[in-house]
Structure 1
Amino acid sequence: MKMIIYTVLLCLPLSLVAQENTDNLDLANKILEVNEKNILRDSDYHNWGSSIVKGEDGKYHLFYAQMSQAIGFSSWLTDGIVSHAVADSVAGPYVHKEVVLEGRGPDYWDAYTAHNPRIKFFDGKYYLYYMSTNVGGRILSKIEWEEARHGGISNEFRALVRQNQRIGVAVSESVNGPWKRFDNPIVEPEGPIAQITCNPAVSKRPDGGYIMIVRGDKPNVKYSNGKWPTQNELIRSQAIALSNTPIGPWKIQPKLAVGNLNSEDPAIWYDATRDRYYGIYHAFGYMGMITSVDGVNWKKAKHYKVLDKAIKKADGTEILAGRLERPFIFVEDGVATVLTVAVLEKDGNSYSLFIPLK
């Protein structure tokens, strides 16, 4: 067996053999305890997924999703907003500054929500990637719209809003805006994903191009009479898209990054020290990490499992999350320093959490 493995390695380019031996990042071993300064709460909103960028002012700028508590947690699909907060330290405490994105109304592709933001800084500009949706040109009555807001997974009108999810981007020369949006989404479903594009995660490639992990449904999942597929029928998949610019055009690649595992909310970054990409996602119970040397072919990382739903606090207690989603890794000077996650506790409280990494 050793001789067979050795023979196979001899057939690979030496650069790839060397890269295969660099997968030693152990995020689980880097996780530190959290305290209240690492939590961003809001009495009027559910705080959800977030991402961080260091601004031109030297401060840390958080862009995060919010859903009105008055409307309910499920309003992420119809009434979500993207807000901006600022901190002197990357792990917080963060202070809310402003709302930066929300639905623009029925005359636009991003009509009814702004959700799941990812902020990036590329070549002198800030790029705020987000998900939004519309109702495909239909006009819904007030009753139908309320069903879209609050209906279950089989509701015709919620299914309509769900299947029109797309990814967009807003661009600014300053982290404080103003933000320019575009007339069309930047990534459409194709190839190994269908129905929707959402939950973008973007990184610059060492060759100067750009890479995105994008979530969609498997192509064999179809809507019937406007109804959303059941949970068993709905298999989420993570695909890879490549572009020469941060705004596209983006081309989805034939091979999935994550295929048969029901997972979502990917994050991605390039680790220059290890000369490889890493991605992290949640798989409905834990956070898992994948890796790639070329950005197209992905596998589970050597230290695959990163985090489960129990998070230690400095006061000796634990956060016991009912849902733990939307991971994001902030990298500064080549080192992963913070893991941000969205927490929904079993009592219904939700907030953005910033976990320091040693």
Structure 2
Amino acid sequence: MNRRQFIHIASAGAASLIMTRLPAIGSAPANAIDLARWIQPVPERAIFREPGYHVWCGTMVRGRDGRCHLYYSRWRASEGFFAWVTHSEVAHAVADDPFGPYLPVDVALPPRGPDFWDGHCTHNPAVMESGGRYYLYYMGNRGDRRPTKGLNFTHRNNQRIGVAVADSPDGPWRRFDKPLIDTTDGFHDALCCANPSVTRRPDGSFLMIYKAVAKQRALPFGGPVTHVVATSRDPAGPFTKIDAPVFTKTDVDFPAEDPCIWLQENKYMAVVKDMKGFFTGAGRSLALMESADGIEWNPAQNTLVSKTEYTTTAGVRVSLHALERPQVWLHHGEPAVLFCAASIDKQPGGGETFNVAIPLHRPPPK
């Protein structure tokens, strides 16, 4: 019998081992999903910018009021692109339509000081509604806040995963004194962790996948960079880590990042950033993964979702340096919008960054 090792983290440094197996939720449908064929032209109102800021990491939920609430990462453009790791904050914008136009209204997760684990930086938002409450998962960190030409590792290596909870998408958001996912010595996330994505499972429990960095490679970068699956009975945790890294590639230390997971047609699906085309063969791109149980993942039959580009409703092809941080919004259980962070110019070097809401529509069968 195939078995997986589970690690339950009750608090930082406390762990117990459980051996178990999770059941598959169903068989694959005859017609494989091809998200590349679902992608539609992008209207101008679906491009979200905020003057004076770098904008990144868009995730959206529709509230009970019918409005669309976008949570996104932002930091002042004057601080440089790599200030995402030192000065990012999760802001909030609203619209009447999933494609916008969005109006910034407030900051959902502002800095709260060096005494807190997430006191200097909040980033990587992923929002979910469950049981009438709203859960905003994110990466938080703290450090020396010094500007650097690349990653500031006092902040990067303090990355942990948190969740904020609210009764309304307008907040207020209740944050916690400890991370939801902390590092575990000797585990795949021994150095740091980020990029959480969560979906509800058929039995009412919750599945998370997050980016994990180990300490097996030279510091300060560390590595390899993999992804860990974790499960919980409650969206606010605690989560049980599973010792079975996913989205891996033989002899590659950093094949993917930025997972977004959801449940569709009796399968778990994920869009990930393929760092160099390890899965799609198309260079830096977005790749589609699938799983029967949420634990064992493989490239989908139609792996390529998108290259680093999009096409406008005017028929203009926009070539990008980066198209990443994918977040899929479901309408009646089916992908309807692919939110992505985008940049036209290579970083560092200033340049424009923005969020784009790419329409998705199931095409007729071939």
| Band of TM-score, shorter chain | 0.7 to 0.9
Residue 339 (str. 1) matches residue 347 (str. 2): no
1:23 Cα deviation (Å)? 6.5
- Counterpart pick for 1:188 among 158, 161, 182: 182
1:36 Cα deviation (Å)? 1.1
- Map Cα deviations across residues 7-61 of structure 1 (whole Å, 9 max, x no partner): xxxxxxxx96961345611110000011211100111111111111010101111
1:199 matched residue in structure 2: 195
1:184 Cα deviation (Å)? 0.4
The normalised TM-score by structure 1 is: 0.85
Q: Quote the Cα distance in structure 1 between the aligned partners of 2:153 and 2:317.
A: 36
The normalised TM-score by structure 2 is: 0.84
Q: Quote the Cα distance in structure 2 between the aligned partners of 1:325 and 1:309.
A: 8
Q: Quote the Cα distance in structure 1 between the aligned partners of 2:58 and 2:111.
A: 18
Asked if 1 retains the 8 angstrom alpha-carbon contact of 2:338 and 2:357, the reply is yes
1:249 matched residue in structure 2: 238
1:237 matched residue in structure 2: 226
1:287 matched residue in structure 2: 286
| Alpha carbons of structure 1 residues 18 and 277: separation in structure 2 relative to 1, 3 Å | closer
1:315 Cα deviation (Å)? 1.7
1:193 Cα deviation (Å)? 3.1
- Counterpart pick for 1:278 among 269, 275, 296: 269
Asked if 2 retains the 8 angstrom alpha-carbon contact of 1:23 and 1:301, the reply is no
Secondary structure, counterpart of 2:302 in structure 1: strand
| Alpha carbons of structure 1 residues 17 and 118: separation in structure 2 relative to 1, 3 Å | closer
Residue 123 (str. 1) matches residue 131 (str. 2): yes
| Alpha carbons of structure 1 residues 219 and 301: separation in structure 2 relative to 1, 3 Å | farther
Secondary structure, counterpart of 2:121 in structure 1: coil
- Could you tell me which amino acid in structure 1 is paired with residue 44 of structure 2? E
Q: Percent of pairs identical after alignment? A: 33
Q: Quote the Cα distance in structure 2 between the aligned partners of 1:305 and 1:130.
A: 26
Q: Quote the Cα distance in structure 1 between the aligned partners of 2:142 and 2:68.
A: 32
Q: Quote the Cα distance in structure 2 between the aligned partners of 1:32 and 1:132.
A: 34
Asked if 1 retains the 8 angstrom alpha-carbon contact of 2:192 and 2:214, the reply is no
2:280 matched residue in structure 1: none
Asked if 2 retains the 8 angstrom alpha-carbon contact of 1:240 and 1:252, the reply is yes
Secondary structure, counterpart of 2:169 in structure 1: coil
Residue 46 (str. 1) matches residue 46 (str. 2): no
Residue 220 (str. 1) matches residue 220 (str. 2): no
Residue 64 (str. 1) matches residue 72 (str. 2): yes
Q: Quote the Cα distance in structure 2 between the aligned partners of 1:340 and 1:60.
A: 13
Secondary structure, counterpart of 2:91 in structure 1: strand
- Counterpart pick for 1:210 among 206, 211, 223: 206
Asked if 2 retains the 8 angstrom alpha-carbon contact of 1:23 and 1:302, the reply is no
Q: Quote the Cα distance in structure 2 between the aligned partners of 1:105 and 1:259.
A: 36
- Counterpart pick for 2:166 among 172, 176, 182: 172
Q: Quote the Cα distance in structure 2 between the aligned partners of 1:295 and 1:17.
A: 9
Asked if 1 retains the 8 angstrom alpha-carbon contact of 2:114 and 2:142, the reply is yes
Q: Which deviates more, 331-340 or 94-103?
A: 94-103
- Could you tell me which amino acid in structure 1 is paired with residue 343 of structure 2? L
Residue 100 (str. 1) matches residue 112 (str. 2): no
1:297 matched residue in structure 2: 296
1:219 Cα deviation (Å)? 4.4
Q: Quote the Cα distance in structure 2 between the aligned partners of 1:51 and 1:20.
A: 28
Secondary structure, counterpart of 2:181 in structure 1: coil
Larger Rg: 1
RMSD, aligned CA: 1.8
- Counterpart pick for 2:355 among 343, 352, 355: 352
Asked if 1 retains the 8 angstrom alpha-carbon contact of 2:215 and 2:223, the reply is no
Q: Which deviates more, 106-115 or 254-263?
A: 254-263
2:9 matched residue in structure 1: none
Q: Quote the Cα distance in structure 1 between the aligned partners of 2:150 and 2:261.
A: 31
Q: Quote the Cα distance in structure 2 between the aligned partners of 1:330 and 1:174.
A: 18
- Could you tell me which amino acid in structure 2 is paired with residue 299 of structure 1? N
Q: Quote the Cα distance in structure 1 between the aligned partners of 2:66 and 2:189.
A: 39
Counting matched residue pairs gives: 321
Q: Which deviates more, 109-118 or 16-25?
A: 16-25
1:252 Cα deviation (Å)? 1.4
Secondary structure, counterpart of 1:150 in structure 2: coil
- Counterpart pick for 2:96 among 88, 98, 107: 88
Q: Quote the Cα distance in structure 2 between the aligned partners of 1:211 and 1:264.
A: 17
1:330 matched residue in structure 2: 329
Q: Quote the Cα distance in structure 2 between the aligned partners of 1:150 and 1:113.
A: 15
